[in-house]
Amino acid sequence: MKKVLFLVLASFLALSACGNSEESKSEDKKEKQSSSKDDKKNEESKRPNKDKKEELDKEDTDNNSESNSDSLNEHKKDNNVNREFKNALDSAKNYQSVMPMSKAGLYEQLTSSAGDQYPAEAAQYAIDNLDADYKENALKSAKNYQDIMPMSDNELFKQLTSDAGDKYTQEEAKYAIDNIENKKSNQDTDYEDDTNTVTRENVMDFVETYEGETLDTGTYTFKEPEQRENGSWGFAFYTKDGDLAGSYIVDEDGNVTKYDKNGVEE
């Protein structure tokens, strides 16, 4: 009986050991499967970032290639320009910096036999590629005329637009006339103020303007002007014999009043 019980117990222990072994193997298998799934997820999560980086790198490469291509094309374009065309453009730039011209005037200067004698195509290339504001050029030309040869608006417009003149368009000439300063510079204004103010030094000038001629110092002796209390200036003049011949009064505004030897206003 004891022997039978021993065999039953031994069999039970053996079966129990086998069960534990199988269970352990099953747990190991589950852990491996779980670990494999996690690795796969991590790999998949990394892949989009990698793909995105590769895509950005490709875009940068494409952009750089495009930029280099544009620079190369621009360089080729410059190299393909005829030397005479480049010279014409340089000449146009020189004229632009020292002498304001209209588009038509510049073209004539570049092509005429009395000018630079460039071919028409080279001159046109220069004008097409010159950075110029012809309205501002017209204004500069108008100012130059204003400084050396004052003109009426009609005369200035004709000078700016005529074929014998500057050859600006009517629109450019009108812009110049509308924007030229009608007021004199501060320096000119100061000078004008000085000449309009009656002083001891210029009171005789006002009298000569009034008379329309210079004072006859051969016949008369003119006394030194004196300023009166009201701000006006006055002086008398005498015959060579010393007799009073008359006098002048010049008010602050430059208005002249002449009196005879008896003090009666003439």
pLDDT digits (tens, 9 = 90+) for 87-112: 999 999 999 888 899 999 999 999 99
Copy the structure tokens of residue 246.
């008359």
CA angle at 12 for the pair 6 and 14, rounded to the nearest 5°:
105
Count of CB atoms situated within 10 Å of the CB of 171: 12
Give yes or no: residues 142 and 167 share one domain.
Answer: yes
| Structural domain count of the chain | 3
Q: Domain for residue 241, yes or no?
A: yes
Give yes or no: residues 201 and 247 share one domain.
Answer: yes
The amino acid sitting at 10 is A
d(CA 220, CA 218): 6
Give yes or no: residues 211 and 244 share one domain.
Answer: yes
Give yes or no: residues 142 and 171 share one domain.
Answer: yes
Q: Domain for residue 1, yes or no?
A: no
Looking at 132, 167, 198, the residue that finishes a domain is 132
Q: Domain for residue 103, yes or no?
A: yes
Give yes or no: residues 168 and 218 share one domain.
Answer: no
Q: What is the pLDDT of residue 186?
A: 42
Give yes or no: residues 200 and 248 share one domain.
Answer: yes
Q: What is the pLDDT of residue 124?
A: 96
Give 232: exposed, middle or buried? Use CB within 10 Å, 0-12, 13-18, 19+. Answer: middle
Closest CA to 93 of 125, 121, 117: 125
d(CA 164, CA 166): 7
Looking at 151, 167, 182, the residue that finishes a domain is 182
Give yes or no: residues 153 and 116 share one domain.
Answer: no
Give yes or no: residues 123 and 154 share one domain.
Answer: no
Q: Domain for residue 35, yes or no?
A: no
Domain region containing 221: 189-260
Give yes or no: residues 177 and 202 share one domain.
Answer: no
Which secondary-structure segment (H or E) carries 54? Answer: helix 2-80
Instruction: Work out the angle between the directed axes of helices 120-129 and 103-111 (0-180°, nearest 10).
Output: 140
The residues, ordered by sequence, that sit 6+ positions from 110 with a Cβ below 8 Å of its Cβ are 88, 91, 92, 116, 118, 122, 123, 126, 127
Q: Domain for residue 25, yes or no?
A: no
Give yes or no: residues 208 and 243 share one domain.
Answer: yes
What Cα–Cα distance (Å) separates residue 259 from each residue in 43, 191, 235?
A: 118, 31, 10
Q: What is the pLDDT of residue 247?
A: 94
For residue 261, the SS3 value is coil
Give 122: exposed, middle or buried? Use CB within 10 Å, 0-12, 13-18, 19+. Answer: buried
Look up the CATH number of the domain holding residue 141: 1.10.10.10
For residue 132, the SS3 value is coil
Q: What is the pLDDT of residue 255?
A: 92
Q: Domain for residue 51, yes or no?
A: no
Q: Domain for residue 9, yes or no?
A: no
Sign for the pseudo-dihedral over CA of 156, 158, 162, 168: positive
Give yes or no: residues 207 and 234 share one domain.
Answer: yes
Q: Domain for residue 61, yes or no?
A: no
Which residues, given as ranges, of the chain have pLDDT below 50? 2, 4-5, 8, 18, 24, 72, 75-76, 183-193
Give yes or no: residues 93 and 126 share one domain.
Answer: yes
